[in-house]
Structure 1
């Protein structure tokens, strides 16, 4: 999916703003991003004491600062170095420290000297907005129904919408869940949930099957469900049904 790759690459400018301007956290959470459903955009954490943020607007395919000045860059036709130069200049205008593009992880695709950002497929962008929205709403509803607490954030390395929370049943178990982008496990955007005790993933080979989705017990141990065709209620049911298995209720 071409636009997924383009947006994943563009999100790295937000991640590197977190790296450039925020105190490093051991879990890398200073790099993770929020998603505004109303504005269809990714958002950094506040980057200074005045609340300055950098946004990536999906539909406009543009970077923008949350400043009084109109500081926006349309990404269409821009190369990587052009974007970096703009970020260095505009962050300086805003009184931020020096911006630098320096990732400490690798991505499945790269930007060479010939790379240009292009808004090649607006329908794909709308599908990605709808999928992020579905994932975020389903996670929020699930957490509320189960009386669990977690932030819902997008992690720029794997570009997943994710949550992580300890169970409140005294079992010492925790769950990680969210929506992942296509990979070797599923050739589609997909929901996932996995259980842990400490740092160890709980094995799923003996779990009862799910109404939707399937259990995996290989390198990844958990349940997966492609997003295509799902409603929010279906997604919540998937998470709740999987949680019930982890809690040994069924």
Structure 2
């Protein structure tokens, strides 16, 4: 597999994650930071999962997307409700929206709220054409990376006694943490797909002090990755070779630990 195959897979899955974010924005209590739209990667089930939506009968539901099985699943703890699916393989965005409208009606929500959707990569999921389908190998690599990143960030939080959720944001599609530290420092760290910062997927770490991007002594040598001091300020460690994914993930964990310590002057 080439790295571009994996990048295309992440772009494709990003579209479906954005659908979860759009639905969450309609049925969850809105937060100023839009955290109600973000989701978690369930490492056991290998699914993207929304926050809990309270149904009219006071039971709860979550919207899940299974990349490897090409379907959404509306999971609920209500024993009297079926748990409907929305199949995405070979189905366009019109089909997905109409099926969600019907299925959300079945669990007591107003499905008609869902109309048009603003997707990051409409060339891979349009209203009228069949969607782009990533290869199974690329999807399995996605599952492996997101599971490992999720566990790495949880370990970083636990080891340092930091407080944060580990969430996936529908806009950037990064798996990240947000931590508040003493002396007005804020940390944004995690893993992101290829974007304007890097042409390759990458681990990242960035800090802000009193609301402004903050860099330590960037002349300090890093074992992995490199500093960036341009429009975006921070440090990244790119993923360039799928055949070396295990090395990338193990080095990425060390990268996050080392750079966090440098930012915090430990």
* 1:135 counterpart residue number: 149
**Aligned pair in 2 of structure 1 residues 207, 248: CA closer, same or farther (>3 Å)?**
farther
* 1:52 counterpart residue number: 61
- The Cα shift of 1:207 comes to 4.3
Q: Structure 1: any 5+ residue segments left out of the alignment?
A: none
Q: Secondary structure at the match of 1:163?
A: strand
**Aligned pair in 2 of structure 1 residues 43, 89: CA closer, same or farther (>3 Å)?**
same
Identify the structure with the greater helix proportion. Answer: 2
Q: Secondary structure at the match of 2:138?
A: helix
Q: Which has the higher contact order (CA 8 A, sep 6+)?
A: 2
* 1:214 counterpart residue number: 226
Number of residue-to-residue matches in the alignment: 246
* 2:162 counterpart residue number: 148
Aligned Cα root-mean-square deviation (Å): 2.0
1:1-250 correspondence to structure 2 within 5 Å = 1-48=7-54, 49-67=58-76, 68-98=81-111, 99-101=113-115, 107-110=120-123, 111-167=125-181, 170-204=182-216, 206-227=218-239, 228-230=245-247, 232-249=249-266
- The Cα shift of 1:55 comes to 0.5
- The Cα shift of 1:115 comes to 3.0
Q: Deviations over 1:60-99 (max 9, x none)?
A: 0111110341411221110101100001111011001343
Q: Structure 2: any 5+ residue segments left out of the alignment?
A: 1-6, 240-244
State how far apart, in whole Å, the 2-side matches of 1:106 and 1:75 are.
15
CA contact (8 A) 2:177 2:189 kept: yes
State how far apart, in whole Å, the 2-side matches of 1:54 and 1:157 are.
17
State how far apart, in whole Å, the 2-side matches of 1:108 and 1:62 are.
18
Q: Secondary structure at the match of 1:4?
A: helix
State how far apart, in whole Å, the 2-side matches of 1:207 and 1:225 are.
16
Q: Secondary structure at the match of 2:204?
A: strand
**Aligned pair in 2 of structure 1 residues 119, 146: CA closer, same or farther (>3 Å)?**
same
Ranges of 4+ aligned residues in structure 1 off by more than 6 Å: none
**Aligned pair in 2 of structure 1 residues 142, 120: CA closer, same or farther (>3 Å)?**
closer
- The Cα shift of 1:107 comes to 2.3
Q: TM-score, normalised by structure 2?
A: 0.86
